[in-house]
Structure 1
Amino acid sequence: METSKPSTTVIDPYKTLGVSRDADGATIKSAYRKHAKSAHPDAGGDVDAFSRLTASYELLLDPVRRKIYDDTGYDPQLTDAKDLEGLLMLDTLVNEIILDERQPGSFDPVAAMRRRLTDKIVNTRFHILELERHRGRIRNHMDRIGRRPESDVLGRMLNARCDAIADAIGKAEAEIKVIEQAYSMLEGYSYELEAETPKAAE
């Protein structure tokens, strides 16, 4: 499946502050003070970079947010909205893998996630085509309706149906972008399957 390769803007707070994943509060505060001196806008630093530094510092000092980040790899306040939607979609697929009772190594969960996402895109595109065909039929009816009274009740109703379909198409197209975002986050991953043992000669 070809994707538009959306950019992923998930911020790693540990990398931003330059600390290890087991850094304690004192180490985190020290690292923040060190980076903040040069990163602060008043000292000629970049506003966005300083904002990311501060957000990373606040996350790592909050034990609840830090645990959630360590467990899931994302934090709503450090993640672009598009990326967060893609991550949540991947999170659902990861839950399905966890519940799969097949032995690890007997199947490729990464490939399974890619197939699921590809199927979602195909199904959503098919849904869009169906909506567009339905909208085309409505417009065809509108063109064929002859005498239209001043109130044009039918015209308003049919136009409302077209508007509702246009909204549904927009939502479906937005969903495809989220799926593509989730798919792009799987780039670079592979999975090692167990080697099949040769059957003994009979």
Structure 2
Amino acid sequence: MIDPYKTLGVDRDADGASIKAAYRSRAKAAHPDAGGDVDAFSKLTASYELLLDPVRRKVYDDTGFDPQLTDTKDLEGLLILDALVNDFILDEREPGSFDPVAAMRRRLTDKIVNTRIHILELERHRGRIRHHIDRIGKRPESDVLGRMLNARCDTIADAITKAENEIKTIEQAYSMLEGYSYELEAELPKAAE
């Protein structure tokens, strides 16, 4: 993820005129026709467009992400975390009485485990279908049952691939929690009786 403020060299509270001036100044040197790098110019232009769009800028300022500048995996991980953040915001327990970061990590771990179990079930089911295919005698004119069973195997293979990709996304969300901790309130000592 690139930081559009750093890319343009402007402060976080820069107004539209400052952003335009910074873009024009940097674009002259960064433009490919002036010997600049195409990728660098593309990032400069994307940063400029983000900061001039009030909605995208607000989303970036609030989350640190922009759909157009963010890797798809990061964006999908962010969406998973967003749902988990909503869960702990709505939790009625007092802040400091529970660890929402640890709870988020547990929920992500549980999702990974459940998805792996689902993959194992799908693979077992696909194996049973393949055994049926091996045992069914084929009709000489057409193999309707074989085609139907093979189509089921293909559908299961697609579901397995989807589940494996879901695990990668959950792992990405988990990695986004690295470095975070949460300070719990210390329990008060019980009064001596």
1:42 and 1:114 mapped to 2: Cα distance? 48
Tell me the SS of whatever aligns to 1:78.
coil
Which of these residues, 86, 89, 96, is aligned with residue 98 of structure 1?
A: 89
Other-structure match for 1:15: 6
Equivalent in the alignment of 2:78: 87
**What are the superposed Cα offsets for residues 171-198 of structure 1, whole Å, 9 maximum, x if unpaired?**
1111111111111111111111112221
2:118 is matched by which residue type in structure 1?
H
Q: Of 113, 125, 137, which residue of structure 2 is paired with 1:146?
A: 137
Of the structure 1 ranges 15-24 and 116-125, higher mean CA displacement relative to structure 2 is found in: 15-24
How far has the Cα of 1:133 moved from its partner?
0.3
Paired letter, 1:129 = L
Report SS of the residue matched to 1:76: coil
* Amino-acid identity (%): 87
Counterpart residue type for residue 189 of structure 1: Y
Distance between the aligned counterparts of 1:22 and 1:147, measured in 2? 72
Contact 2:138–2:146 (CA under 8 A) maintained in structure 1: no
Runs (5+) with no aligned partner, structure 1: 1-9
> TM-score, normalising length from structure 2?
0.93
**Measured at CA, do residues 150 and 68 of structure 1 come closer, stay the same or move farther in structure 2, by a change above 3 Å?**
same
* TM-aligned CA deviation for residue 147 of structure 1: 4.6
Count of paired positions: 193
User: For residues 34 and 85 of structure 2, what CA distance do their matches in structure 1 show?
Assistant: 43
Please state if 1:26 is matched with 2:17: yes
Paired amino acid for 1:140? H
Per the TM alignment, residue 119 of structure 1 is displaced from its structure 2 partner at its CA by 0.8
Q: Structure 2: which 5+ runs fail to align?
A: none
Correspondence for 1:188 among 163, 171, 179: 179
Distance 1:44 1:77 in 2: 25
2:106 aligns to what? 115
> 1:3 is matched with which residue?
none
State the distance in 2 between where 1:22 and 1:68 align: 15
Runs in 1 of length 4+ with deviation above 6 angstroms?
A: none
Q: Which residue, out of 138, 151, 154, partners 1:163?
A: 154
